[in-house]
Structure formats: structure tokens, C-alpha cells
Amino acid sequence: MDAVPAASASPPVPSAPGAPAASAAGRAVTAGPLPARERSLVPDLARGLALLGIALANSPSHISGREVGPGGKPVDGSTADRVVDVLVGVFVDNRAFPMFTLLLAYGLVVIARRQEAAGAPWPTARAVLLRRCAWLAAFGAAHLLLLFEGDILLPYGVLGLVLVLLVLRARDRVLVVAGSASLLVYAAFATLDGVAGALPDAEDQGPGAALLSETTVLGAFLQRVVGLASYLVLSPVVVLSFLAPAAIGILLARRRVLERPGEHLPLLRRIVLLGFPVSVLGSLPLVLASAGAWDAGVPGAVLAAGLHGLTGLAGAVAFVALVGWVVAARSARGLDAPPRAAVRAVAAVGERSLTCYLLQSVVMVPLLAPWALGLGAGAGTARVAAVAVATYLLTLAVAVLLARAGRPGPAEQLLRRLTYGPAASRADPPADQQPGQPAERQGRVRSAAT
């Protein structure tokens, strides 16, 4: 499959909600954000599910005052904690984040294709994508400084800039080689993350220890400033570690696998049937070590964490493929009615993923952080996982209310305005057709763009 080609200029077309918008000079033609009625179900549904995984994966980072072991889990957890550790370790850790990375890259290809269909030349389309990614990185920097050191928007924004400038139009073979080569860096980062709790603590009793205490507002803020500075130094390596799932997302998008899952059922089945066993089996060594069932030691934890990360990539792709398989199978059985309410609700979260992701921090950080209410102090993984699930359900309710009103999330609305201009930030008219019906029934090409 060829790379996304540069589009030649074409005459301006009439404006409509989500339709191409021409400049005053009538030359630079671009496509605005996609109306809700034209969205594809699979990417939104996958994003909505991934956000639940992200909330669960982030939840242990809000625990304070506990000794942690491999996988960052408390070493003296209760039975409920151990059950949660196993479930999250097998199905969520090192699975949700690469899944979201894949979907980010998929969306960039779809946006580029939409600009091309509007007649925008590649430099114009590239400018739209670069603006979007730059503002996403800015959102992430603000999120990191104000609330949560574990922010993913900043690295995703920087990753998007690199993909647009260097990777998005590369040939498939280049993507495969680059993605494969980056697996070493990906595994190294997963290893560092997985063994951090198993390494001995370096006690710092110097004069700066009190200043950087996470129990004070100032100390926690200064820690986040240090975290931002560290990321800026390490950003090239961090971006390289994300390249493998991003390359997979680009390759899938070029074939419209998630927009037209019915045309790719054999591929989706193979990915699911191969990816899930690899993911589950590869997760077990680190999961058993974090649950206390195996005394891995540092060498064993290193190997287990690297294996957990690499096989997690297979699990991430398999989760996305499973969503596509289920949606395509439903359509193949002639079930063309709108999806059920639960499916529409999760898809509404995915459609407003930026707002819902930020809302997770707005809720969880004040509840759990030591400098705020401090409910994470001495907590187990079961307690913080319950908070994560409750927070996700709250974001789901917010997303459903916004969907019923025909409105994007406020963060999406701001990002649209910054990317496409003021006219793009208006609310979508309530769709007379729910997202997720087959594209053929609507007579238009559907998109996965956010």
C-alpha cells in the first residue's frame, strides 16, 4: 500500500458543517473537523475502552506511603489487591497506552486523507496536522505542570510532530523497519518502568528533600517541574519508544482497517487469535512477581518487565482488532440498527477522549494526591482501582450528556478552534443518525479522526 500521497490543489468547494473550508483568497482549501454523524464506530469505541485502561494503569501512581515491588504494586497488598494486580497486569499494564498510541497515529493518517480529499496540497495538510500536534503537546505540558506528572498528551503531541514531519508519508517498508528497530527502545522503557519498584531506594535527606516533598502543594509542583524538564531532555528517546505502535497504527489506517472492518475480517481474526495468547502468556512472569508468587530478584524482574512490555504491544493490537471484529461481525449478521446504549456511551467517551482523559486527572488527583485530600496514602491497588473505575463512569456520563446535546467535549472544542479556526469550534448539530451505522447506509466515507 502506497504512502499517503501529496494532494494537488483543487477549486474551492462550498462550506458545510465539517466540509472543506477555503481561505479568503480561495486558494488554500482545508477540511474542518469531522461532524459526529460521519464518525466511524470502531476507533471511537476502541479509544473509549482504552481510556478505562489508562485510568486503571495510572491508578497505582496515586498510592503513597507503601513499599512497592516489580510492576510498581505494593508488596504487602490484600487479597483484593492481588486480584486487581493480576487482572490489571494481564490485561491493562503495557497494553492500554500502546493501544492509545496506535489510535493516535491512525487518526493522523485519517486527518491527512481528509485534507487530501478536500483538495489541500500536502504543505497545507501538514500545517493543519502540525498545529494540532503542537497544541496537543501544549495541553500536555499544562496538564503535567498543573496536575499529573504521568501525563501522556505531551509525549503524544511531540510524537505526532515527528510522525507528520518524518514518518507519515514514508513507504510501508520504511515503517516496518523503523518500527521493528524501535522495539529495543520500547522494551527498555517497559523494563525501567516495570523494575522501578524492585530497585533499592536512594534515601535523600538533603536540604532539597523537604522542598520537593509530595505532601505539599509547592513540593509536588516542583516535582512536576523537574518531571517536565526531564521529559524535554529525554523526549527523542521517549518518542522513539512509541514508534512501533505508531507505525502499526499508520499501516492499519492506510488500509482503512478500522473504518471498514468488514473488509478485513480475516486479518482481524488472525490478530486477535495470535495477539491475545502472546500477550497473556508474556504478562505472567511480571504479574506473578508483582503478586508475590515469584521472588524474581532484580535480574528476573528485568527480564520479566521487558517481556511484559513487548508482548503488551501484541495485546494492544489484539484489543483494537477485537473491537473491529465484533463490530464487523454484528454488521455481517444484518444488525444495521444503531448500536446499543452502552456501546454508544463508550464511543461517546472515545469521541471526547481528550476531555475525558483530562477529567480523569481533575477528579483523581485531588482525591488521592498527598498534597490534596490524600486518600491514596496507604491505599491498596483495589481502592485506587475502584476510584479509577468510578472516575471513568463519571466521564462516561459527561460524554453521554454532551453527545445528546450534539456537542464536542470542551477540550476538543478548544483544540478544534486552535487547529482549524473559530468557525470549527461550534457545536455539531445533533446527528439524525447515531455514529456506528455502516458507511454504506449513510452514503459517505466515514473517518476515525478526533
In a domain, 22, yes or no: no
Tell me how far the alpha carbon of residue 232 is from its chain's centroid: 20
Q: What is the pLDDT, as a whole number, of residue 296?
A: 73
Tell me whether residue 246 is exposed, middle or buried, using C-beta atoms within 10 angstroms of its C-beta: 0 to 12, 13 to 18, 19 or more.
Answer: buried
In a domain, 252, yes or no: yes
More confident residue, 99 or 202: 99
Please tell me the distance from the alpha carbon of residue 139 to that of residue 223, in angstroms, as a whole number. Answer: 18
What would the mean pLDDT of 153-173 be, rounded to a whole number? 95
Q: What is the pLDDT, as a whole number, of residue 8?
A: 33
Q: Which H or E element spans position 31?
A: strand 29-31
Please tell me the distance from the alpha carbon of residue 391 to that of residue 122, in angstroms, as a whole number. Answer: 40
Give phi and psi for 377, each to the nearest 5: -70, 120
Q: Which H or E element spans position 30?
A: strand 29-31
pLDDT, tens digit, for every residue of 252-277? 999 999 999 999 999 999 999 999 99
Find the largest Cα–Cα distance for the chain: 69
Tell me how far the alpha carbon of residue 290 is from its chain's centroid: 25
In a domain, 8, yes or no: no
pLDDT, tens digit, for every residue of 52-87? 999 999 999 999 988 888 788 888 889 999 999 999
Joined together, the cell numbers standing for residue 381 give 491497588
More confident residue, 136 or 194: 136
Indicate the number of domains in the chain.
Answer: 1
Q: Please, which pLDDT band fits residue 422 given cuts at 50, 70 and 90?
A: confident
List the single range of 36-45, 85-94, 199-208, 272-281 with lowest mean pLDDT: 199-208
Q: Please, which pLDDT band fits residue 446 given cuts at 50, 70 and 90?
A: very low
* Residue % of the chain over a pLDDT of 70: 81
Q: Give me Rg for the CA atoms of the chain.
A: 22
In a domain, 6, yes or no: no
In a domain, 18, yes or no: no
In order of 57, 160, 220, 365, the CA distances from 371 in angstroms are 21, 33, 7, 9
Per the prediction, the chain carries an average pLDDT of: 85
Q: What is the pLDDT, as a whole number, of residue 293?
A: 80
Q: Which H or E element spans position 20?
A: strand 20-22
In order of 10, 12, 13, 26, 187, the CA distances from 23 in angstroms are 13, 9, 11, 5, 46
Which residues lie across from 377 on neighbouring strands?
Answer: 64
In a domain, 238, yes or no: yes
In order of 44, 171, 341, the CA distances from 260 in angstroms are 14, 22, 22
What would the mean pLDDT of 237-242 be, rounded to a whole number? 92
Sequence letter at residue 118: A
Q: Which domain holds residue 431?
A: 37-200+209-442
In a domain, 1, yes or no: no
In a domain, 11, yes or no: no
Q: Is 415 left (phi over 0), alpha (psi -120 to 50) or beta?
A: alpha
pLDDT, tens digit, for every residue of 286-299? 999 888 788 777 78
Please tell me the distance from the alpha carbon of residue 397 to that of residue 408, in angstroms, as a whole number. Answer: 14
pLDDT, tens digit, for every residue of 397-414? 999 999 999 999 999 999
